[in-house]
Amino acid sequence: MIYTAHYNSPLGGITLTSDGMALTGLYFDGERDFPDLSPGRKKDLPLFGDVMRWLDLYFDGKEPDFSPALNPTGTAFQMSVWAILRTIPYGETTNYGAIAKRLEKKTGKRMSAQAVGGAVGRNPISIIVPCHRVIGANGSLTGYAGGLDKKEYLLELEGAID
């Protein structure tokens, strides 16, 4: 069963999804990869309260000092990229190539920045798993499922860009 809740952010509506134990998705309403949530069911889970408290702190310009339970679903490669995303400090950025190099060092296998970009783009838990902190090698803001305007807002909120 998929459980859902809705959060009103300064950037518009956000839909939260859960398996009942952990957060499985955080999507801007109308984003390009918005999932089919049928037969989802709205439910007031304690987890959703934790996520909304985290988002309230975040959108107030504060770095939350806790993380709600997360359970994203993806391939082993995607999961390894998403784990690296969670290590990018608040207010800092990295690029796709740097993530590829970290994976190469860890696995001993050559990785491409494009493959990393594909995994970053499929992150189902935006903001909390901070895919918005990944930028192009030249410092440009590149792809974001919620839209580049949202990515720019989030990075400005964190003080990562002016």
The catalytic residues are: 131
Torsion on CA atoms 68, 71, 72, 77, rounded to nearest 10: 110
Written as six digits, the tokens of 69 are: 């339970």
CA–CA separation, 161 vs 43, rounded Å? 37
Q: CA-CA distances (angstroms) from residue 27 to 10, 105, 108, 109?
A: 14, 31, 33, 32
**Rg (alpha carbons) of the chain, rounded to whole number:** 15
Q: Which run of H or E residues covers position 94?
A: strand 94-95
CA–CA separation, 126 vs 70, rounded Å? 11
